[in-house]
Structure formats: C-alpha cells, structure tokens
C-alpha cells in the first residue's frame, strides 16, 4: 500500500467496481474511487466493537494533506472513546429552529396559551425569531445568536424582551424534549432592556369629561349603544378589555352583584359589582339568540374591536394619550385614594400575585402625606405664636 499523495490520487484509474487505496502511513485513511470517476477521502476506525467509516470530502475540494489532518483528528477522537460518525449522524437528524417553532406551536401555544397571548407569540415567531434563527439547527444556537437578536431590537425594548421570553420557553421545552442538553438554554444570562412602565390615571376632572362625552354620544344616537356601555363598564369595574368584550349574559349575576367569569388572564374569577355597574348592565337590552353582553352589528355576534370608538371618545374629551387599559389603572388609583388597602385592590382587580398590585403602592402614600402636611402645619403654626 502506498502513501497517499497527489500523484497517487491523480494516477488512480477508474474501474468497473468501487475500490479503495489505503494509506500505508495512517491506518484507516484511504482514497475511494467510484465507477463514475469520482474520488474521495474516507477514514475508517473502531468505536467499541463496531467498525465505522466516514467520508472526509472529494479529492477535488480537499488536498491529500488536508484530508489526512482530518483523518488524524477523527482517529484520535475514536481512541478517546468518542464516535465522530455517530455524532455526525445525530447532528444531521437535529431539527431546525423552524421545526422547533412548529412543535412549540402545536404542543404548547395551541394547548396551554390563551388566544390573545398565542397571537402575540406567533407574531413574534414569524416576524422576528424565524427570520433570524429559523435555519439554525437547535443544537447549534448559541447565546451569542440570541444576544445579537436581542441587541438588534434594542430600539423597541418591549418587543426585544418579549422575544427573549418566547425563545426561553422554546428552548426550555427543547431540553425537556431531549433536543438539547439540560441547562443549555441559550437565553440564559442575557439581561432584558429596561422598560418604561406607563401608568396613566384619569383625574376626577378628566373622568367627568369622559362621562360628558359618553352622554353626548348617547344623545346623538350615532355610536353603538353597546360600545358606550362597554366603556362605562370598563371604568366602573376595573375589568380588562377582553373580560368585558367577551362577557356573556350567563356570566352576569345581577342578584349576586357579580360577574362570574369562567376564564380570564388569571383563570376563573368573580368580579364584584358596585351599584353603578349594576345600573349599566340593567340598562343593556338583551338580544334574542345573542349570548353576548356587548353585541356587534351582525346577528348573534359580539363587538370585537373597541379601539376605534375609544379613539373618538378620547379625542372629543381632549385626552388623546389615554389608552383603554388606563381605565383599569384609574379604577385602582381611585380605590387607593378612597383608603382601600392593596390586598383589597388586588381582589377587586383579580390579581393573583402581590407584586402586580404593588405597582400602586406609591399612590397609597398620598393621603398619608396630606395628613402629615396638615398635622405638621398645625404644629408649625403653634410654634410661631
């Protein structure tokens, strides 16, 4: 057996059957010559009791010395107990991030995530995650890949952070499904961007302007009465938009002064109603064969989008920066101002975690500051007499 060189490789003749020219200096290293005329390097080694063979590449791409160097590395790895061919085969079978996303949707999003959240997950996956990572194999994705994706979205920190959350969940499940080693989630140690927490509360004067606009719209008879009722219920209950827009009459317990919601962002919950909210619900006309409280224009359907109506309300009230969700914040801030404690406010809003309600803690200091100011002013006046 000769030592493989360029001259030996060029001189190798084509035969009717495949044959090998084995190198006499490196056992296991050979040139394979096919009947088609193609020539390529291979390496053969033992992994345990099995004989394994790997293709190194064609002679038209690799020089003999490049192929020899690769063969030496593979043989050395095999002697250390590794099986490079098996690792290569496993790598080829590894799914891509696009395939992981499809399984993530089928086995997690569609089963465990609420509809509105699922819509957001899918939007982030399609618009941001897959264009950046879709072709990568799941095992090849590194922390550097995720950090770059996050950095590229730095101008929209909220979306950048939500992408991190989705990626983290996807790769946690990839570990659980045996697609990556445990503890290898590439999202780890990537710090989220700071997000500006926007808390807008309507003052009593601003609430009056909203109330005046709703009454004017009611008198004009142009806007849907169901939209006007929805706005009033949002203000008077502190409910989330989806809870009011998907409210059905079977969930309304006027006698018990409550909404008994079978599902919400935090699961089933009871919303206790004040008399003004009861009055609004009592004034809504039930439509035959329509189960929804906030009805739409089509028979049997509900109103699906309150945003255009709310934009008209806030424009007429001169409150163009007020979002619908700010009505929920206003309900909470009014509760704080009336002396309600944070645990009670948490129950009113249906919070399941204390830290969610704690965002309103700073408001609770306002009455105390007022009292402190009054007391200290009285004492100061006495000191000056």
> What are the extents of the domains in the chain?
6-92, 97-176, 204-368
Phi and psi for 258 in degrees, rounded to 5?
-155, 155
Q: What is the pLDDT, as a whole number, of residue 92?
A: 63
**CA diameter of the chain:** 120
Per residue in 137-177, pLDDT tens? 998 899 999 999 999 999 999 999 999 999 999 999 999 99
Q: Is the pLDDT of residue 373 over 70?
A: no
50-84: per-residue pLDDT in tens? 888 888 989 998 999 999 999 999 888 888 888 88
Instruction: Based on DSSP, count helices (H) and strands (E) in the chain, helices before strands.
Output: 18, 7
80 dihedral zone (left: phi>0; alpha: psi -120 to 50; beta):
alpha
Q: Is the pLDDT score of 352 beyond 90?
A: no
**How many CB atoms are located within 10 Å of the residue 22 CB?**
15
**Strands 258-261 vs 252-253: parallel, antiparallel or unpaired:** antiparallel
Q: Please write the tens of the pLDDT for every residue from 209-243.
A: 999 999 999 999 999 999 999 999 999 888 889 89
3-state secondary structure of 191: coil
CATH superfamily of 6-92: Integrase, DNA-binding domain (3.30.160.390)
- Bridge partners (DSSP) of residue 54 are 43
C-alpha to C-alpha distance for 126 and 130, rounded to whole angstroms: 6
204-368 has CATH 1.40.20.10 classification:
no
DSSP class of 231: H
| pLDDT for position 93 | 64
DSSP β-ladder status, 50-58 and 252-253:
unpaired
* pTM metric for this prediction: 0.57
pLDDT at 361 over 70: no
């Amino acid at each position: 057996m000769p030592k493989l060189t360029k001259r030996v490789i060029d001189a190798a003749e084509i035969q009717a059957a495949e044959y090998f020219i084995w190198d006499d200096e490196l056992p296991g290293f050979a040139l394979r010559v096919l009947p088609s005329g193609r020539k390529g390097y291979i390496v053969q080694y033992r992994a345990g009791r099995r004989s394994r063979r790997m293709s190194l590449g064609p002679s038209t791409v690799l020089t003999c010395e490049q192929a020899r160097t690769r063969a030496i590395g593979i043989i050395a790895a095999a002697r250390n107990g590794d099986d490079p061919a098996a690792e290569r085969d496993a790598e080829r079978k590894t799914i891509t991030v696009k395939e992981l996303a499809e399984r993530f949707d089928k086995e997690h999003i569609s089963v465990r995530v609420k509809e509105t959240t699922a819509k957001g997950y899918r939007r982030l996956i399609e618009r941001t995650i897959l264009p950046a990572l879709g072709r990568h194999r799941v095992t090849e994705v590194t922390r550097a890949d995720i950090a770059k994706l996050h950095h590229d979205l730095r101008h929209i920190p909220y979306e950048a952070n939500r992408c991190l959350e989705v990626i983290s969940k996807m790769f946690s499940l990839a570990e659980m499904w045996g697609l990556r080693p445990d503890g290898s989630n590439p999202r780890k140690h990537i710090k989220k961007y700071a997000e500006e927490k926007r808390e807008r509360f309507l003052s009593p004067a601003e609430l009056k302007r909203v109330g005046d606009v709703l009454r004017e719209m009611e008198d004009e008879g142009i806007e849907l009465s169901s939209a006007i009722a929805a706005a009033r219920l949002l203000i008077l209950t502190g409910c989330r938009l989806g809870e009011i827009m998907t409210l059905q009459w079977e969930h309304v317990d006027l006698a018990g002064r409550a909404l008994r919601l079978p599902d919400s962002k935090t699961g089933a919950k009871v919303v206790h109603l004040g008399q003004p909210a009861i009055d609004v619900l009592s004034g809504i006309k039930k439509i035959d064969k329509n189960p929804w409280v906030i009805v739409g224009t089509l028979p049997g359907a509900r109103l699906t989008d309150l945003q255009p109506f709310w934009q008209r309300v806030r424009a007429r009230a001169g409150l163009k920066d007020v979002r619908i969700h700010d009505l929920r914040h206003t309900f909470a801030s009014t509760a704080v101002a009336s002396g309600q404690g944070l645990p009670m406010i948490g129950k009113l809003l249906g919070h399941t975690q204390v830290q969610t309600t704690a965002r309103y803690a700073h408001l609770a200091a306002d009455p105390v500051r007022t009292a402190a100011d009054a007391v200290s002013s009285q004492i100061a006046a006495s000191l000056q007499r």
